Structure 1
Amino acid sequence: MTRDEWRSKLKARRAAISEPMQRQASHDVAARVAERAQQSSGYAAIFLSFANELNTTPAIEALWQANMATVVPVLHPFSPGHLLFLKLTPDTRLTKNRYGIEEPQLRVDNVVPLSKIGCMFMPLVGFDAYGNRLGMGGGYYDRTLAAWRAGQLPQLQPIGIAYDEQYVEQLPIQAWDVAIPEVITPTRHWSFKHEPKFS
């Protein structure tokens, strides 16, 4: 299957998960996220879930309860296709971006550089046995992680968040795709030590 075919199939698989299972999954992932974040230093970056993505609200609350300073992605206003990361607190006012995803209102004093982020929990549409990640197709996280892949951000630890149903044995990937070393699902903390395979 092509990447777009996989994307459609996995989105449908994710959308078919029942509401009770979604709620349970979000709480199961929250505990794993908080535990993992406390093993690293620096800010914890996490996304504000959208559409049928696994609900990250319980995970964010678990990070706050663990006294973890938290940031979330915001579309870069001057550099198309790139992200900034802004501090998130219980009092942060949110607004919807052009994709309909909530994000903090942009304030320069709340921007946190990648060099101060320890764990980066990121969304995905699918992942495979080699840590290859299939996103929504915009390339935002591939661009964000380019410096990490080049060895320039050794403290940064990219970690996917997904339902178990989003796993497949192998995805078709491109040269610019960035494989990630970890994925957290409701039932498992995946760790990938394989070199990515191109198909």
Structure 2
Amino acid sequence: MTSRQQLRSHIRHLRRSLSAEQQHQASLDLVKQLLPRPEVQQAQHIALYLTNDGELDTSPLIQALWQQGKSLYLPLLHPVVQGYLVFQLYTAATTLKPNQFGIGEPELNCSLLCPVSQLDLIFTPLVAFDAQGQRLGMGGGFYDRTLSQLEHSSEKPALIGLAHDCQQVESVPVEAWDIPLPAICTPSRFRTFSEQ
């Protein structure tokens, strides 16, 4: 069985190997897949992320959602509780600075934060996924920890993972803390998974 680290390394290499043209086309196809979805149409407060390390480019999606008048939020490393994320309003005027991982995030402004339970939809990054909706992240556990807070919440945002088609694997090695995704969108299709 492949270890999580080996799988992570292999898939990250695959997605970084995509050409600029393949990346661009994938990002446009992603928008075509997502915009008609009821989860997206009905959502007003949407969290997503800025692309890093060969991830599917979210820029065209961000522009399309802004054009539809959606309020978008970016993840920030939690300023107090290590290992968690908070989500802050993101507009075209937002100034970004690199966090400890070199990923752009807004300067913390508590008045612009949105509690996780009040988001309508969260697009999550991932490194690999399988046909059961299991997600393998970058290894920091930030999303799993943050989303675990919603376990007993009556209001839960919809969760959709975003990935290139080449990121699907036969089986993701699962740990107890992993939170499976109910839906994953790639440039070629939108997949939903039954509740685990």
Deviation (angstroms), 1:50: 1.0
Partners of 1:40 and 1:119 within 8 A in 2: no
How many residue pairs match? The answer is: 194
Structure 1 153/94 Cα, relative in aligned 2: closer, same or farther at 3 Å?
Answer: farther
CA distance in 2, matches of 1:64, 1:79: 30
Q: 1:73 aligns with which of 68, 72, 75?
A: 75
Partners of 1:125 and 1:136 within 8 A in 2: yes
Deviation (angstroms), 1:147: 2.5
CA distance in 2, matches of 1:86, 1:40: 20
CA distance in 2, matches of 1:117, 1:22: 28
Residue identity matched to 2:153: Q
1:9 aligns with 2:10: yes
CA distance in 2, matches of 1:191, 1:119: 15
CA distance in 1, matches of 2:133, 2:40: 22
Deviation (angstroms), 1:153: 4.8
1:131 matched residue in structure 2: 133
1:108 matched residue in structure 2: 110
Partners of 1:123 and 1:160 within 8 A in 2: yes
1:62 matched residue in structure 2: 64
Residue identity matched to 2:126: L
User: SS in structure 1 opposite 2:144?
Assistant: helix
CA distance in 1, matches of 2:195, 2:69: 33
Q: What is the aligned-residue RMSD (CA, Å)?
A: 1.3
Partners of 1:42 and 1:116 within 8 A in 2: no
1:180 matched residue in structure 2: 181
User: SS in structure 1 opposite 2:9?
Assistant: helix
Residue identity matched to 1:164: D
Deviation (angstroms), 1:38: 3.3
Deviation (angstroms), 1:115: 2.0
Deviation (angstroms), 1:194: 5.7
Deviation (angstroms), 1:40: 3.2
Deviation (angstroms), 1:39: 3.4
Deviations 1:144-173 (A, max 9, x none): 11023x241533111100000000121111
2:99 matched residue in structure 1: 97
Deviation (angstroms), 1:33: 3.1
Deviations 1:83-120 (A, max 9, x none): 01000111111111111000111101111111210110
Structure 1 182/24 Cα, relative in aligned 2: closer, same or farther at 3 Å?
Answer: same
TM-score (norm 1): 0.93
Partners of 1:45 and 1:120 within 8 A in 2: yes
User: SS in structure 1 opposite 2:191?
Assistant: strand
1:164 matched residue in structure 2: 165
Deviation (angstroms), 1:18: 1.5
**What percentage of aligned pairs have identical amino acids?**
40
TM-score (norm 2): 0.94
CA distance in 1, matches of 2:154, 2:3: 32
CA distance in 1, matches of 2:11, 2:165: 11
> Where do 5+ consecutive residues of structure 1 fail to align?
none
